[in-house]
Amino acid sequence: MVAYATVEELAQVATDGWEELAQFASRNPGVTGHLLQQRFNGESPNEDQALIAAADAALVQLQDLLESVSRYADSYLNQRYRELVPLAPEHYENTGLPFAVAAIALGRLYGLRKSDEMRKAIAEQDSYLRDLAAGRASLNYQQPSTPDEPGRMTVSARPSAFPWDKY
């Protein structure tokens, strides 16, 4: 499964960045945001192996969370972009989808401890997903158009309510 946001984008959404992710994703108090970021970047710091394993487990948990929220987003996207789901990166880069997935994932990471501001932000991102499903917002994808044959265009309009005979 492909996640529509990265752990790095999740850290950007978090108020305290990597430190906040380390606090919520790992039960080990020795796992710091700096260590989590180093492990995400593929670096091998000179730390205790148990601490590195705990940081790696936290990264796996965060990645699983992002994939879960991406599947949740797919439930909305499937209504409009059925032939593309799961989306390729070129269809959602430079759109609000990665931010929406990261914000919703951060809210799930917080669980019941969400503040009112966070609840409002998550509701806005859910609204964005609904807008994508309804076509009020779009991704970097243009659906193929099938134009009518020349001379076969049809137009329908409401009859005018203006009394032209009395003008």
- DSSP structure class, residue 128: H
Q: Is 4 helix (H, G, I), strand (E, B) or coil?
A: coil
pLDDT of 151 reads 63
Q: Is residue 1 part of a domain?
A: no
Give the sign of the dihedral formed by CA 119, CA 93, CA 39, CA 37.
Answer: negative
Q: What is the pLDDT of residue 141?
A: 60
User: DSSP characters for 44-110?
Assistant: --SS-HHHHHHHHHHHHHHHHHHHHHHHHHHHHHTTT-TTTPSPPHHHHTTSSHHHHHHHHHHHHHH
Do residues 154 and 139 touch, judged by C-beta distance below 8 A? Answer: no
Q: What is the pLDDT of residue 124?
A: 95
Give residue 160's pLDDT.
63
User: In sequence order, which residues have a C-beta less than 8 Å from that of residue 152 and are 6 or more positions away?
Assistant: none
Name which residue leads in pLDDT, 163 or 138.
138
Question: Is the pLDDT confidence value at 161 over 80?
Answer: no
Q: What is the pLDDT of residues 117-150, one digit of tens each?
A: 999 999 999 999 999 888 888 886 655 444 556 6
Q: Mean pLDDT over all residues of the chain?
A: 86
Residue 44 forms part of a structural domain: yes
Considering the domain boundaries, does residue 146 fall inside one?
no
For residue 151, tell me if it sits in a domain: no
How many domains, the chain? 1
Instruction: State the residue range of the domain holding 132.
Output: 7-137
